[in-house]
Amino acid sequence: MPKKIVFLCTGNSARSQMAEGFARTLAGAKWDVYSAGTAPAGLNPLAVKAMAEAGVDISGHTSKTLDPQLLASADVVVTLCGDAAESCPLTPPEVKRIHWALPDPVKATGTPEDIMTTFRAIRDEIKDRVKTLLETEE
């Protein structure tokens, strides 16, 4: 039976969506992969673009509200921002909680290329972390 992992962020618009996309691609049938937000804000088009550049299509993803039952039934919950880590409801003791304090690429400033560079850097960091997580949690 596959393990269940939930990637949680405030808006479920960029970081958690990218993590879900990479995990679905890298984990195959070993994991059931979900993402959610404490205050869903819609899928960010720059996250879709950054992931497409990496060969992962998340264009069909949607921002989802955190489901307490999903959270309680997860094997691993990964929060990708401080707000989500602080506002995430309690989980049963057997649920492994991990926090990745990653900057929000949605808040990047500068030229369009500067902003896209930020999205790419966060995307690449998330890919590395997801790959390591999946290898260590098998």
Give me Rg for the CA atoms of the chain. Answer: 14
3 state SS of 33? strand
Annotation says 88 is catalytic: yes
With beta carbons less than 8 A apart as the criterion, state whether 37 and 61 touch.
Answer: no
Annotation says 10 is catalytic: no
Please identify which of the residues 88, 102, 133, 134 carries the catalytic annotation.
Answer: 88
Annotation says 108 is catalytic: no
Please identify which of the residues 5, 6, 8, 9 carries the catalytic annotation.
Answer: 9
Rounded Cα–Cα distance for residues 36 and 88 (Å): 11
Strands (E), the chain: 3-9, 31-37, 76-79, 96-99
- 31-37: strand order across its sheet: 31-37, 3-9, 76-79, 96-99
Residues assigned a catalytic role: 9, 81, 88
